[in-house]
Structure 1
Amino acid sequence: MHKVIVLGTGPAGLTAAIYLARANMKPLVIEGQEPGGQLTTTTEVENFPGFPDGILGPELMDNMRKQAERFGAEFKRGWVTEVDLSKRPFKLSVYGLGELETESLIISTGASAKLLGIPGEKENLGQGVSTCATCDGFFYRGKKVAVVGGGDSAMEEANFLTKFATEVIVVHRRDQLRASKIMQDRAKKNPKIKWAMNRVPVEVVSKEEGGVKGLKVHNKETGQEELIEVDGIFVAIGHRPNTAFLNGQLKTDELGYIQVEPGSTRTSVEGVFACGDVQDRVYRQAITAAGTGCMAAIDCERFLEGEASVDWSQSL
């Protein structure tokens, strides 16, 4: 029987683990299939406070883990296949660990960026291919980049990247965008944004010396393949919150993000808390994830100490 189990080891889960361990709650942290979360696929992180010269994403995550371990957090590798949140203690079926029981649960399983699934894409993540303009746009100052996608997020990424890049090419597989009219109008009025419509991405082409040379696309109008030469490729086709294992036992929005009580991390089940990108469809930054991780730890500690006996499910 555990007092609290934390699912996920991104900035949210590790921050929660640090706070819980310092409060002598002896948290068990389940690492999942991608220990460290999305930051482990990022090279230089320059916008996390406290690192004036930047820090490598994997190094930042490793430092956070060591900090949590120093205060007594326990880490185990495995991933949750099933949960029973119908009553306390909660039961978790964890591949590699068997069945676990816990008095409280913090879910920080994150959201995975949807990828194109084409050759050269995964190999160049963090080396010219990115899923976050806010995180990596600065590295493309004075360069030419492509944004793949046709929704609001793609238009937002494209507009943001024009602050740094000399030219932003929006690549979309159809002749019509899915984005809202206001987002389309904003992008079309931006002189730095160019359009490559009816182009289906088929391969990320690498340079011999490393890095991205361009994006090979299939032109649906001519039937020919073309190479769009760019220095960076931003994939903006959406994110998928990692909540399938919950099997509908927590209230989520239409996209699957866990809903929390405003101003807290409480979910629709008392004793279960959510933090990080799994409940954040707006910001998705390391620093905001860490902040909600701190909130979840404090909410959880107060719950276990009996300070939070309200049935929050009625307000969600």
Structure 2
Amino acid sequence: MNNAYDLIVIGGGPAGLTASIYGGRAKLKTLVINKGTMGGLVNTTREIVNYPGYGQISGEALMKDFKKHAELFDVEFLRDEVISTDFSQQDKIIHTKKGKIYSAKAVIIGCGSEPRLLNIPGEIRLRGSGVAYCATCDAEFFEGEDVVVVGSGDQAIEEGMYITKFARKVTVIVLHDEGTLDCNKLSAERAFQNEKMEFVWNSTIEEVLGQNNVEGVKIKNLKTGSSTELACQGVFFFVGMVPSTRFLKESGIEMDKRGYIPVNELMETNLEGVYAAGDNRIKYLRQIVSAAGDGATAAVAAERYIEELNAFNRNVLQSEKKVLLLFFNALDTESLEFSTLLEEVNQDLSGLYKVVKVDMATKKNLAKNYGIEKASSVVLLDKGQEVKRLVCSIDKENLKSQLNS
């Protein structure tokens, strides 16, 4: 396949770009596929003050630095959307919206997350006509107008304060009792002191009003149950994020009910050679710095997986000698004893076979591929094709007999 790579990274945010830097530096042929502008949602952040080494920088500028770094290592970039995958074989297959097909030995999923929708009446219909999810992108369109912000977390309050630079007034709809916000204390103090910001407590938004453009919102008080209407020209929703993993629905990748991907400390998913990094995985902290760390870990793990895969193909599947593929348990005395016995028998046969040992504790997927459930087990291969399976017991003559037949 012409579109064959060692490593494909799905997503061009901080996790994906960091993974591509590590992949490129490891001399892996690396491709990053991203459906939008490289950098993802970080591009919409106007000010970052907590990324090490940068006292203050915009998200767009930081992501440009990430991409430039990756380009130093010949990483390739593609603006396209992944719509389906096939991870069932050794070569992972990726299909894109533009009708292209790509393959890779390893894949890192770093597609991040996107704003969560409330799906209330008027929200989707008026999206782009007064309904917005990014203050940096859209605040300037509301110069001198009244704006409603839904949410009280860090993003909602900080973006709300940014909107006050343009809007006449910003009204924040808050679920909690008066004075309680979900954001950090510093942002809360600044928001309460901002003369352009007002708060509606113990409330939620029921509907976005308007025909062709936003004209107002219907607000419900959670304590009294009463509803009121508030005139405005814009509504910004900041009510959390959801992972952008819908395209993985039929992939075999394990996900929780929200769509987040569980991984281990190596960023490995439940499928061999497939990793997840950044905001689309289950994790405690969703920040640029933690996403970058995920990307680095995933890429190093993928590099080692590819090295092992290449070595297995070379030493086992392409071996001129017949191969005794031994699955053993390094913590089991009897399994280790059998391993030693197999080596001795092969020496007695003048090294007729190549013995390749596989520790089942670290190569669970390989064992699964061969249908091995317990140690010790031996598969006899000839040029990669299975010939037979041995009966494994601590009986030298029996073992020799099986190998002589």
Whether TM exceeds 0.5 here: the answer is yes
Rg: which structure is higher?
A: 2
Distance 1:136 1:235 in 2: 5
TM-score normalized by the length of structure 1: 0.73
Give the counterpart of 2:253 among 250, 253, 256.
250
CA separation of 1:72 and 1:264: change in aligned 2, threshold 3 A: same
1:26 aligns with 2:29: yes
| Correspondence 1:1-316 to 2 at 5 A | 1-52=4-55, 54-96=56-98, 98-115=100-117, 117=123, 118=126, 119-122=129-132, 125-126=135-136, 133-134=153-154, 140=161, 146=172, 156-157=182-183, 161-166=187-192, 195-197=201-203, 199-200=205-206, 202=208, 216-220=216-220, 224-227=228-231, 235-236=238-239, 238-248=240-250, 249-261=252-264, 263-280=265-282, 282-306=284-308, 310-311=363-364
CA separation of 1:123 and 1:269: change in aligned 2, threshold 3 A: closer
- Structure 1 residue 125: Cα displacement: 2.2
Partner secondary structure for residue 308 of structure 2:
coil
Code of the residue aligned with 1:226 in structure 2: it is L
Contact 2:81–2:97 (CA under 8 A) maintained in structure 1: yes
- Structure 1 residue 98: Cα displacement: 1.1
- Structure 1 residue 217: Cα displacement: 2.6
Code of the residue aligned with 1:283 in structure 2: it is L
- Structure 1 residue 32: Cα displacement: 1.8
- Structure 1 residue 97: Cα displacement: 5.4
CA separation of 1:163 and 1:265: change in aligned 2, threshold 3 A: farther
Q: Percent identity?
A: 31
Contact 1:201–1:217 (CA under 8 A) maintained in structure 2: yes
Distance 2:192 2:366 in 1: 49
The number of equivalent residue pairs is 274
CA separation of 1:219 and 1:99: change in aligned 2, threshold 3 A: closer
Distance 2:282 2:181 in 1: 19
Q: Deviations over 1:43-81 (max 9, x none)?
A: 1222222111x1111111111111101111011111111
Q: Deviations over 1:267-310 (max 9, x none)?
A: 00010000000104532211111110111111111111229952
List structure 1 segments (4+ residues) > 3 angstroms apart after TM superposition. 115-119, 127-141, 147-150, 154-161, 219-224, 227-230
Distance 2:277 2:10 in 1: 10
Code of the residue aligned with 2:247 in structure 1: it is F
CA separation of 1:294 and 1:163: change in aligned 2, threshold 3 A: farther
Distance 1:8 1:82 in 2: 14
Q: Deviations over 1:226-253 (max 9, x none)?
A: 25899x96612x3221111112411111
- Structure 1 residue 218: Cα displacement: 1.3
Code of the residue aligned with 2:18 in structure 1: it is T
Contact 1:15–1:64 (CA under 8 A) maintained in structure 2: yes
CA separation of 1:242 and 1:199: change in aligned 2, threshold 3 A: closer
TM-score normalized by the length of structure 2: 0.58
Structure 2, unmatched stretches of 5+, are 140-148, 165-169, 310-360, 368-405
Q: Which moved more, 1:156-165 or 1:34-43?
A: 156-165
Distance 1:295 1:122 in 2: 35
CA RMSD of aligned residues (A): 3.8
Contact 2:278–2:286 (CA under 8 A) maintained in structure 1: yes
Contact 1:147–1:157 (CA under 8 A) maintained in structure 2: no
1:173 matched residue in structure 2 = none
CA separation of 1:277 and 1:131: change in aligned 2, threshold 3 A: farther
Distance 1:148 1:203 in 2: 19
Q: Deviations over 1:1-38 (max 9, x none)?
A: 21110010000000001111111112111122453211
- Structure 1 residue 202: Cα displacement: 2.5
